[in-house]
A and B are shown apart, each in its own frame.
Chain A
């Protein structure tokens, strides 16, 4: 079947099998390997992308379900030299080590900083419950999100 999706602002089309996952479409057909797969039970959040402006786990969405939707991946957020404030905050606060969870973490945290709610350490920690990081102990990720939230305010 054919799916038409707007990916990082550009319309894309692909021929997929119905059982193709969104993350498989992104990484495979579209070559957007910044979105990672860290588990098979929809827990780790490494595959988080934005679907119509909301963070979702792209390993738990069929490509077909994204028909007509707008998808934003880490590649669509900011580029070297033109980083999104959240990306910049991750570097500034050393909020990543191996970098594997990072794209999903950033795409998940984006919802938080755009929620308009007042963020503090507790709400950021609670809000990151859909993303695992095994390297950082989350300490600096929390700092990064708070920093970026402040920068946006």
Chain B
């Protein structure tokens, strides 16, 4: 037993954050550093006729001006997309090369085409102003709905189509639809979101001429992957001559997974100039240049029989890729989306087709949930709509179609094998917590005040803990999806943990320490967690897709087990007992049937001072593991939103939100609840507030916090959160992952509540006051 599991241990990292002692990338200043500013395209699509750098180079304080041509000449390659998706005809997805600095054509507003380094930031910006770039503006294709018929953006990519991907059995779906008694159809958009971690992206790069090594401090969720891509694909520096450090990172939500032009150009410039170069995005740059999320247009059809049993689901989606394929841009609307379309249900036939389409907009990639919120929105909106059309209670229709606990492992028609779950249980718990029984009275009370109240469900599932490497690679992934975890027991018995996961708010320094301290039976204060530095951590794939505990934590458990085993041999030798006769409990090795004891610390010292040591055993007490999961994990849950709508102004207020989630084993319930809160807030933001909007010419209309509505404290209610537990069957912790659940489940719950309140079939997200007001007028 691990006594630390399930304890709401207060976070150890908090002390530095609440006292202003955090160390974020922009807090790092290196001696002699220059400051970078980027020249960015004002056009959605334009040919670069010429760039005259003379004025910039002679601007006082400017120390370097580099364009795409300079990088190309230096052999810097395009930023790659790490997941190869194939079209239904067997052809590879069509990739438009994305140079870090555009050299011949710009394809979205904000795309960088030159970097200027100055003694000061002001000098760098003045240098950017002094650049004379001559553009020939070209017609743009910025609207997803018309992009396949619009002007062709990239040479050789007809209809702007990167791939036409499909999954499932089309013939089986056709057959199911042929015998259906009821058909529900919905067409909707999944709105483009802009991640907006409060810390803008930043980097500081330094070149050491003596060692020919570049050190890149950057806001990354996965520094090793950044290093790998910059070394192997971009050609910035050999992997062993590049150190990537990701210090405290102020939120990521996916947007800091990717390798971006800015840190690439800044790191290159640091070497070219032989001096450190620092860049920090202004928020307006973040809006233009961070990878955006979502942005689908979908038509979904659900076929049901008389009893309300789901027979088949057909989904057609057009997914916006933006102007280029970002690092994982191709995987999000395909393998992270289509594979989830079974949801929590025994739908026997499912077929999904996805067109991945280029537009003259910022690249689109993973944002909290990444494909799974879009899938959940499809399923949970159409299920709720079907229930209303059939006159069946939406919870009851779900119940009738749930995969039952005795059906696990359950193979879906869209390529996944769910290991465990109990959907009925989480739904019932949520209904009780949300007092669904009392809803009619609350609705009547609201009506008496002239308000419309609605209730909506969302029973989501996600595939997390990304995941078996061989499976992922066979499906096109360019990297494995294991995680490394190393534990070094120091001679004095304190422990340093090295994880390839990266914490940017998730609290790994506490959760991972709990796991390890609990394993060893030592005080948590004796455990230090190191992450985010390729110079200290051997390897890692980073934190995204709610994978850190299930994969990274499992690696640590395995390493801890190895250490405990080695300690058994050392202590057995010293206690003159066979290792298999030594028990390890609460930090003490005990020779069974004797009163001989050695503490964990004594064994550690013995390992490093091997005066009397087992024959053939190496000294030291340090182990590592590369843990590669056998399957994804499948967190699932039931969310219930209750809203009140002011029919005169169209304002929707979320008055209650209940989330009951099954994350498997929970290590730190306090942290898990916090993850749910944050995810739900982003989900409510998507449903009611947030929209990344471009106009027809490709200008970003919502380019600042003045126009892009971020959820504030008074936009949200307090949340009612609980968990149920069916442990994951295939990792040693039984953990499934919790980081994205809120963002996955919430949008559909809120929109089901809004449409319930209004009595309409659909309202587009975000359900802005005007949209709601118009929906009511049309109803």
Chain A residues proximal to chain B, CB less than 8 Å: 27, 32-41, 43-44, 46, 73-75, 77-80, 83, 87, 90-92, 94, 96-103, 106, 121-122, 124-126, 128-129, 131-142
For B249, the closest partner residue in chain A by CB is A98
Interface segment among B436-444, B478-486, B557-565, B714-722: the answer is B714-722
B199 touching A38, Cβ below 8 Å: yes
Q: How far is the CB of A74 from chain B (nearest CB, A)?
A: 4
Cβ contacts under 8 Å, A32 to chain B: 20
Cβ contacts under 8 Å, A46 to chain B: 198
Cβ contacts under 8 Å, A75 to chain B: 19-21
Q: Does B705 contact A (CB under 8 A)?
A: yes
What DSSP secondary structure best describes chain A's contact surface? loop
B678 touching A83, Cβ below 8 Å: no
B198 touching A134, Cβ below 8 Å: yes
A134-B197 CB under 8 A given contacts A39-B704, A97-B678: yes
Q: Which of A27, A83, A126 contacts B714 (CB 8 A)?
A: A126
Q: Does B710 contact A (CB under 8 A)?
A: yes
Chain B residues proximal to chain A, CB less than 8 Å: 10-11, 13-24, 26-27, 196-200, 248-251, 253, 280, 282-284, 504-507, 670-671, 673-675, 677-682, 704-706, 710-714, 716, 718-719, 742
The CA of A36 and the CA of B27, in the complex, are separated in Å by 9
B505 touching A98, Cβ below 8 Å: yes
A102 touching B18, Cβ below 8 Å: yes
Q: Which of B11, B18, B506, B712 contacts A132 (CB 8 A)?
A: B712
Cβ contacts under 8 Å, A74 to chain B: 18-20
List, sorted by A's number, 14 A–B pairs whose CB atoms are closer than 8 Å: A33-B24, A94-B671, A98-B505, A99-B22, A99-B505, A100-B22, A100-B251, A121-B718, A134-B197, A134-B198, A134-B678, A138-B681, A140-B674, A140-B677
Cβ contacts under 8 Å, B713 to chain A: 124-126, 128-129, 131, 133, 138, 141-142
For A86, the closest partner residue in chain B by CB is B18
For A102, the closest partner residue in chain B by CB is B17
Cβ contacts under 8 Å, A90 to chain B: 14, 18
A73-B20 CB under 8 A given contacts A38-B200, A137-B681: yes
Cβ contacts under 8 Å, B674 to chain A: 94, 97, 135-136, 140
Cβ contacts under 8 Å, A34 to chain B: 19-22
The 7 closest A-B pairs by CB, nearest first: A34-B20, A100-B250, A99-B17, A137-B681, A98-B505, A97-B505, A74-B20
A137 touching B714, Cβ below 8 Å: no
The CA of A73 and the CA of B20, in the complex, are separated in Å by 8
The CA of A139 and the CA of B711, in the complex, are separated in Å by 12
A41 touching B704, Cβ below 8 Å: yes
Q: Which of B10, B14, B200 contacts A99 (CB 8 A)?
A: B14
Cβ contacts under 8 Å, A142 to chain B: 713, 718
B11 touching A91, Cβ below 8 Å: yes
For B681, the closest partner residue in chain A by CB is A137
Q: Which of B15, B671, B716 contacts A80 (CB 8 A)?
A: B15
Q: Which of B198, B284, B719 contacts A98 (CB 8 A)?
A: B198
A133-B20 CB under 8 A given contacts A43-B705, A92-B10, A139-B677: no
For A80, the closest partner residue in chain B by CB is B15
A83 touching B671, Cβ below 8 Å: no
For B676, the closest partner residue in chain A by CB is A137
The CA of A40 and the CA of B643, in the complex, are separated in Å by 33
Cβ contacts under 8 Å, B712 to chain A: 128-129, 132, 138
B20 touching A103, Cβ below 8 Å: yes
The CA of A137 and the CA of B714, in the complex, are separated in Å by 10
Q: How far is the CB of B700 from chain A (nearest CB, A)?
A: 14
The CA of A137 and the CA of B742, in the complex, are separated in Å by 10
Q: How far is the CB of B717 from chain A (nearest CB, A)?
A: 9
Q: How far is the CB of A72 from chain B (nearest CB, A)?
A: 11
A134 touching B196, Cβ below 8 Å: yes
B706 touching A41, Cβ below 8 Å: yes
Cβ contacts under 8 Å, B14 to chain A: 90-91, 96, 99
Cβ contacts under 8 Å, B16 to chain A: 80, 99
A80 touching B19, Cβ below 8 Å: yes
The CA of A119 and the CA of B470, in the complex, are separated in Å by 55
B677 touching A134, Cβ below 8 Å: no
List 6 extra interface pairs beyond A80-B16, A121-B718, CB under 8 A: A37-B26, A44-B283, A83-B19, A98-B504, A136-B681, A142-B718
B250 touching A98, Cβ below 8 Å: yes
The CA of A42 and the CA of B504, in the complex, are separated in Å by 24
Q: How far is the CB of A150 from chain B (nearest CB, A)?
A: 17
For B721, the closest partner residue in chain A by CB is A139
A44-B17 CB under 8 A given contacts A98-B505, A100-B24, A128-B714: no
For A138, the closest partner residue in chain B by CB is B713
A139 touching B719, Cβ below 8 Å: yes
The CA of A90 and the CA of B682, in the complex, are separated in Å by 21
Q: How far is the CB of B2 from chain A (nearest CB, A)?
A: 21
Cβ contacts under 8 Å, B284 to chain A: 40-41
Q: Which of B20, B196, B251, B704 contacts A97 (CB 8 A)?
A: B251
B199 touching A100, Cβ below 8 Å: yes
Q: Which of B11, B18, B20, B673 contacts A33 (CB 8 A)?
A: B20
Cβ contacts under 8 Å, B196 to chain A: 134
A134 touching B710, Cβ below 8 Å: yes
Cβ contacts under 8 Å, A83 to chain B: 15, 18-19
